[in-house]
């Protein structure tokens, strides 16, 4: 996730939060949830594709969710240090 809060906004410089979701490809598409590669992507340590997972389970491991949680921590820390 790339973020830029603009000059002076919370004192943050533009940056990048980079996370991944490791996994593999299923033999055949499975599941009805999600979009894109969800029916064929099996996260590491899982037997289900991301299309077979309930939203809460998928959100907990999602690379986007992880990136935004890291970004939220960065912003919160910076806001705490503001005068």
Per-residue pLDDT at 64 = 84
Identify which has the larger pLDDT, 81 or 69.
69
Instruction: Quick: pLDDT tens for 3-21.
Output: 655 554 555 566 677 788 9
The percent of residues in the chain predicted with pLDDT above 90, rounded, is: 41
Distance CA 81, CA 45 (A): 38
The pTM of this model reads 0.69
């Amino acid at each position: 996730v790339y973020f830029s809060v603009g000059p002076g906004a919370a004192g943050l410089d533009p940056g990048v939060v980079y996370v991944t979701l490791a996994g593999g490809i299923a033999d055949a598409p499975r599941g009805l949830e999600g979009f894109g590669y969800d029916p064929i992507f099996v996260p590491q340590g899982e037997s289900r594709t991301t299309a077979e997972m309930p939203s809460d389970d998928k959100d907990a491991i999602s690379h986007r969710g992880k990136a935004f949680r890291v970004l939220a921590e960065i912003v919160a820390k910076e806001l705490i240090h503001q005068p």
